[in-house]
A and B are shown apart, each in its own frame.
Chain A
Amino acid sequence: MRRTRKLLAIILCAVFLLGVLSGCGSQQQSSEPTVTEKTIVDMAGVEVKVPGEVKTVVNLWPSSNELMLCLGAGDYLVGTMDFVKQLPWVNAVYPKIKDVPAMEVNAEELLEVDPDLIITANADDAAMLREAGLCAVTLMFNDYDSMKKATHILGDILGGEHKEKSNDLVDYIDSNIAKVENALKDLKDEDKPMVYYIQGQRNQGLYSTTGGGTIMEQWVTYGGGKFATADIGKGMQLKDVTPEQILTIDPDIVVIGGPAQHELYEEIYAASEWKDIKAVKNEKVYIIPNGCFPWDRFGGESAMQVLWAAKTFHPDLVDVDMVTEVKDFYKKFVGYDMTDEEATNMLNGKGPKGE
């Protein structure tokens, strides 16, 4: 009896060991030879070998989905996200999105699809997918500099006309920044309005915002304003600030972004504690344009946010026709002919048909 039991234990251990060992063995299996491949360094600093010609992409981050549309590369998408498929402007400028299935980070499912490239925002996810034998890169960006870098990487991967477009997009960002800096060069520090930003990804109240060092601080500063919460905290993680902090700052201008912006706009004018704040009293509460992605957040369209901010904060100093700017951007980068009405709707944070 004792003996059999011992024997069983040994067999069990052997089975376990065999499993672990064979798992190790498969590591030596070399990948199939590809005709051409290029090595790129992704946003996580990892060197990744990607196929010379990338024709199918599964894109698992909203911002990089929008960036692909801005490089005219929507047709490569074979997998996207539910969130992206539900955005009204994405459906308007790229109707084919409804035929692209929504996917998740699931290695087996992605192996079934077997795309040339998978784009993620999370370095761990990308590493896990590469371990499974897929080609995955991290394209996370969160300010203008990292966005320019990510745009170049995406251009390098896709090549051809998309490479040109990625260069053009980076040039466009730089030229917009230069344009407003030039227009506002004589602006004195005391003439810069104090701007408070409300983030309305969902309605978390009037005191949900971001801190210093974010892309929001960047476009407020480029636009000739002072970012109200710069000294309260740093980064996107800034928790709700207290009402007293904001009311003490007494912002001159309030800008509201995200899908909940219209709700928040109503709320701020209805709130009794905001009644005597300069921004509300002088009716300087503005809704940030919302396109394939909210302009205030990191996406290709945030290139135009710099212009919008400058024009909104200093209408007499900055001479830009935003409607023309929007139409040109969509024609040049996304390849979509927009009507004046549609452009106006987007600038007002509304959907393509004004909803």
Chain B
Amino acid sequence: MLTFLILILVAVVVSLVSICVGRYDMSIGDVVRILLSKVLPLEKTWDSTMENVVFKLRLPRIIAAFMVGSALSISGATYQGMFKNPLVSPDLLGVSSGACVGAALAILAHLGTIGIQIGAFLGGVLAVSITITIPKLMKNKSSIMLVLAGVIVGGFMSSIMGLLKYVADPETELAEITYWQLGSLAKVAKGSIISVAPAIIIAGAILIAMRWRLNILSLGENEARSLGTNVSLTRGIAIVCSTILTACSVCISGTIGWVGLVVPHLGRMLVGPDNTKMLPVTLLLGGAFLVLVDTLARTLTGAELPLSILTGLIGAPFYFWLLVKQRVNIQ
């Protein structure tokens, strides 16, 4: 409980710091006054540009970063628990590679930002649907079959991706596809946040609500069944919710690596493997982490840095550190 409260505090502090920094120079006092002016009747001592920066540029990005970060983290945590495998990330069942294909097709067809978002979402959901159908066709319900199906679909989608990149115009379309694949919140707008927020909040709430069932799933299929749990139904709901979370995130930010893999580990390190505690903690951690990374992305240089570059640079060494630390603990 204490950890949880501290993490809420951390998330709030990170968001407040994030809203105060940026390439547009203004004092912390101004930012605080602008924020407070929405609830308190304050005299306007700032110009409207500052207000624009705070409410139209920084706030939407912080909200989006928090949403995407927590969505990716809890879907990663769900997958890792479900498949009892710490190497699993949300794209195990092909959601990211499918979303990439959908987005790339939309970019090639010049469908604009909204088209790219819809394409990414449909692509991700379609890829996972194929993955889920394969074990059904084989009449084999084991999770290893599901993982294999995910590998097949992921590999197939990567090849399609290669083909799409090959036919793309290198100066415009290819650049856009590559940038999209590296993930960015630079083009996030209020409209797109509002359109994905309900789905993310509902899917996330379902996962949080069924987190003790995930505990049972992680015991193993036979054990879970003997405890009277409907394994395929529970697993099905978990997969659908995780897919929606990842697909929604990907469609506003592009693919962002490492978050769904590393953050659940950090959560587990803080409160242990019990999903009832771990999922809410992971949600806060993931949100705060991506807000931090996105703040770096928009402040380090004049150009926007793609997020996957930063999450990779931070995430990979961090993952290594986690592994080292865990081994020490075991001994």
Which chain A residues lie closer than 8 Å to B63 at the CB level? 16, 19-20, 23
Closest Cβ–Cβ distance, residue B252 to chain A (whole Å): 14
A108, B171: Cβ atoms closer than 8 Å: no
Chain B 196-235 per-residue mask, 1 if CB under 8 angstroms from chain A, else 0:
0100000000000000000000000000000000000000
Which chain A residues lie closer than 8 Å to B168 at the CB level? 237
Query: A residues within 8 Å of B by Cβ?
Result: 1, 4-5, 8, 12, 15-16, 19-20, 22-26, 29, 31-32, 103-109, 111-112, 114, 124, 128, 131-133, 201, 236-237, 239
Closest Cβ–Cβ distance, residue A15 to chain B (whole Å): 8
A23, B59: Cβ atoms closer than 8 Å: yes
Kindly specify which of B98-106, B123-131, B298-306, B312-320 makes contact with the partner chain: B298-306
Within 8 A of A (CB), among B128-174: 166-169, 171, 173
B187, A201: Cβ atoms closer than 8 Å: no
Closest Cβ–Cβ distance, residue B169 to chain A (whole Å): 4
Closest to A102 in B: B302
A133, B52: Cβ atoms closer than 8 Å: yes
Q: How far is the CA of A105 from the CA of B298 in the complex (A)?
A: 11
| Interface check B56, CB cutoff 8 A | yes
Kindly specify which of B18-26, B77-85, B89-97 makes contact with the partner chain: B18-26
Closest Cβ–Cβ distance, residue A205 to chain B (whole Å): 13
Which chain B residues lie closer than 8 Å to A16 at the CB level? 63
Closest Cβ–Cβ distance, residue A132 to chain B (whole Å): 6
Decide yes or no: A201 and B171 within 8 Å by CB, A22-B59, A111-B24, A128-B187 being known contacts: yes
Closest Cβ–Cβ distance, residue A215 to chain B (whole Å): 15
Closest Cβ–Cβ distance, residue A20 to chain B (whole Å): 7
Q: Give the residue of B48, B49, B53, B194 whose beta carbon is less than 8 angstroms from that of A20.
A: B194
Question: Would you give 18 A-B contacts (Cβ < 8 Å), ordered by A?
Answer: A4-B1, A8-B4, A8-B5, A23-B59, A26-B52, A31-B48, A106-B298, A106-B302, A108-B24, A108-B57, A108-B298, A111-B24, A111-B57, A124-B112, A132-B53, A133-B56, A237-B169, A239-B166
Which chain B residues lie closer than 8 Å to A239 at the CB level? 166-167
Q: Give the residue of B8, B57, B186, B298 whose beta carbon is less than 8 angstroms from that of A8.
A: B8
Closest Cβ–Cβ distance, residue A117 to chain B (whole Å): 16
B49, A111: Cβ atoms closer than 8 Å: yes
B1, A23: Cβ atoms closer than 8 Å: no
Query: B residues within 8 Å of A by Cβ?
Result: 1, 4-5, 8, 12, 22-25, 35, 38, 48-49, 51-53, 55-57, 59-60, 62-63, 112-113, 166-169, 171, 173, 186-187, 189-190, 193-194, 197, 298, 302-304
Which chain B residues lie closer than 8 Å to A1 at the CB level? 1
Closest Cβ–Cβ distance, residue B327 to chain A (whole Å): 34
Q: How far is the CA of A12 from the CA of B1 in the complex (A)?
A: 15
Closest Cβ–Cβ distance, residue A164 to chain B (whole Å): 33
A112, B59: Cβ atoms closer than 8 Å: no
A124, B25: Cβ atoms closer than 8 Å: no
Q: Give the residue of B24, B48, B112 whose beta carbon is less than 8 angstroms from that of A32.
A: B48
Q: How far is the CA of A69 from the CA of B1 in the complex (A)?
A: 64
A109, B24: Cβ atoms closer than 8 Å: yes
Closest Cβ–Cβ distance, residue B158 to chain A (whole Å): 21
Closest to A239 in B: B167
Which chain A residues lie closer than 8 Å to B53 at the CB level? 108, 111, 132
Decide yes or no: A104 and B302 within 8 Å by CB, A20-B197, A23-B60 being known contacts: yes
Closest Cβ–Cβ distance, residue B42 to chain A (whole Å): 13
Which chain A residues lie closer than 8 Å to B62 at the CB level? 19
Q: Give the residue of B35, B49, B303 whose beta carbon is less than 8 angstroms from that of A106.
A: B303
